[in-house]
Amino acid sequence: MLIKQLGLIGCGLLGGSFALALKQANCVSRVVGYSRSASSAEKAKALGVIDEAVDSALLAATGSDVVLLAVPVAATASVLASILDAIGPDTLVMDVGSTKGSVVASAQMALGNKIAAFVPAHPIAGREVSGVEHAQATLFDGCNVIITPIKETGAKQFEKAQALWLLIGAAIHHMSPEHHDAIFAASSHTPHLLAFAYINSLANQRLLDQFLAFAGSGFRDTTRVAASDPTMWRDIFLSNKDDVRKQIHLLQQQLNTMDEVIANDDGPKLEQLLTQAQRIRAAWNIS
Amino acid sequence: MLIKQLGLIGCGLLGGSFALALKQANCVSRVVGYSRSASSAEKAKALGVIDEAVDSALLAATGSDVVLLAVPVAATASVLASILDAIGPDTLVMDVGSTKGSVVASAQMALGNKIAAFVPAHPIAGREVSGVEHAQATLFDGCNVIITPIKETGAKQFEKAQALWLLIGAAIHHMSPEHHDAIFAASSHTPHLLAFAYINSLANQRLLDQFLAFAGSGFRDTTRVAASDPTMWRDIFLSNKDDVRKQIHLLQQQLNTMDEVIANDDGPKLEQLLTQAQRIRAAWNIS
């Protein structure tokens, strides 16, 4: 058995799916879970995602050889500080947060000389639904996982983290936390922000009900991610502030250009802009 | 047989699907098609979408009791002017354009005292692919069609247009052209514009290839419509200029607000904004 005990801190979609995947791969003996909301932990236990629900993050980490943090990124520092005493020289502590720079900084501050235990990871496997009831053993099968080790990351922990993700079907990529955050600000955080902002731009208009009544498949797809968890995304936007703001500003420039081109009835320029975007998007396929 | 001859002007996704649907419902004897690109008309004939390919819009309209215009909206005026001589007192001429104000103005100008023939229609059935090879007999089955009659619209033509859409499975809604354009600027045109602008905001960045390599399902869905036909959307944005620009400006205000709230690390306000959007989107279902 690869893992004797998995300590799961945060029993939601990602944490629950990780536990289920390891159980299905038959490589964990026991999963102990803690959730800030007691009802989530109880639900996780009822669903067989965890074997025991405990009352604190520290209790979940105690006796666990692998600890998975699956909480909103802003909670990283306080959770890691609370489990410090349970981290031994061989313990692997891993997160699944969508930003990595602030998570690594939190880990360095909270873990001090135990920082070797921590492996920062980001599985590209979000969904617009949340909660352990949507957890699936196959969520990470075929998905990309970005691991962003730092120089203090322990070799044993790094190897073990990779072995776990490979076992449950993920493909692994390495990059620095800073590079990760620059990429995901552009490819993930900004489209989410855009979807939230667009829905809010409709929200206060008198015709909102009719907008929604006649919205079609374009609206459905462009706004799907606006149904995502607000707390999780609040933390992501704030913890990747500089990169996200840079992308918002680049997007605003493009909107200003489109607005100006439309105001000037400049058909050729508008077609050129749309064609550029169309070619890039039509050539893209999810990897 | 409800229609002796359908004259199809524009053999693309929408026009082709309309012809196929009427053929499948066994209510058209013959379809004569014209396309600006001769190869599209030939392809439509080879696929059985039309029975005869002709060399002009006028030839497609001649002898047709129903004429369907399925061309980019900016072509409406010139096409209608070119078929004027083929329009008799009982002819129904209908379009499928995504904007209605400019289409109606074009029709009034081009058709003069034959304006009774024209019924402005907008089936909410776009896809990001285009071309007659993607035409489907079932495209309009269960879809919403907005009909925006004006006071000059002939009663016979109005009834016939409705009968055709009902026959091929669409649900019919009526509104004024102005109301239509205000609604679709918000629910359809702006999300399309947004997707194009967002892709262009990535386009000139050094890391574009990596943005695309690590883009996930959020990116996939928010940008799907950016793969849509640039010519068609150029025309839509320009022909619904005022309503589209109003929506762009409202969206820009929201982006500015989000940017400011993130810059100020204002977590509570950010969460409030995201929660408002999340509630609206999570409660929405495609009708």
Token representation of residue A74: 């802003």
CA B120 to chain centroid: 11
- From residue A202, give the alpha-carbon distance in Å to each of A28, A180, A196, A256, B199: 48, 32, 10, 19, 22
Please name the amino acid found at residue B275: T
Residue A40 contacts residue A68 (beta carbons within 8 Å):
no
A190 touches chain B (CB under 8 A): yes
Candidates B208, B244, B278; nearest CB to A262: B244
B274/A182 touch (CB, cutoff 8 Å), yes or no = no
Q: Testing the interface with B: which of A281, A286, A287 to mutate, by most B Cβ within 10 A? A: A281
- From residue A243, give the alpha-carbon distance in Å to each of A30, A194, A208, B253: 39, 15, 32, 20
**DSSP state at residue A170:** P
pLDDT in tens, A134-182: 999 999 999 999 999 999 999 999 999 999 999 999 999 999 999 999 9
B210/A183 touch (CB, cutoff 8 Å), yes or no = yes
ipTM comes to 0.88
Q: Which residues of A touch B183 (CB under 8 A)?
A: 207, 210-211, 214
User: Searching chain B, which residue's CA lies closest to the CA of residue A204?
Assistant: B250
Residue A216 contacts residue B124 (beta carbons within 8 Å):
yes
B241 touches chain A (CB under 8 A): yes
B172 touches chain A (CB under 8 A): no
pLDDT of A286 reads 76
A14 touches chain B (CB under 8 A): no
Query: In the predicted model, is pLDDT for residue A125 greater than 90?
Result: no
pLDDT in tens, A190-227: 999 999 999 999 999 999 999 999 999 899 999 999 99
Question: In chain A, what is the greatest distance between 2 CA atoms, to the nearest angstrom?
Answer: 68
pLDDT in tens, B141-198: 999 999 999 999 999 999 999 999 999 999 999 999 999 999 999 999 999 999 999 9
Tell me the pLDDT of chain B (287 aa) as tens digits: 689 999 999 999 999 999 999 999 999 999 999 999 989 999 999 999 999 999 999 999 999 999 999 999 999 999 999 999 999 999 999 999 999 999 999 999 999 999 999 999 999 987 767 899 999 999 999 999 999 999 999 999 999 999 999 999 999 999 999 999 999 999 999 999 999 999 999 999 999 999 999 998 899 999 999 999 999 999 999 999 999 999 999 999 999 999 999 999 999 999 999 999 999 999 998 76
A215/B187 touch (CB, cutoff 8 Å), yes or no = yes
Q: Rounded to the nearest 5°, which phi and psi values hold at B26?
A: 60, 40
B203 touches chain A (CB under 8 A): yes
B200/A276 touch (CB, cutoff 8 Å), yes or no = yes
Q: Please tell me whether residue B52 adopts helix, strand or coil conformation.
A: strand
B224/A221 touch (CB, cutoff 8 Å), yes or no = yes
Q: Write down the pTM of the prediction.
A: 0.88
pLDDT of B285 reads 86
Which residues 84-123 in chain A show a CB within 8 A of chain B? Answer: none
User: Searching chain A, which residue's CA lies closest to the CA of residue B144?
Assistant: A214
A207 exposure class (CB count in 10 Å sphere: 0-12, 13-18, 19+): middle
pLDDT of A287 reads 62
Which residues 120-159 in chain A show a CB within 8 A of chain B? Answer: 124-127, 144, 146
pLDDT of A167 reads 96
Residues 6+ positions from B165 with CB-CB distance below 8 Å = B121, B123, B140, B145, B147, B172
Please tell me the distance from the alpha carbon of residue A149 to that of residue A119, in angstroms, as a whole number.
6
A117 exposure class (CB count in 10 Å sphere: 0-12, 13-18, 19+): buried
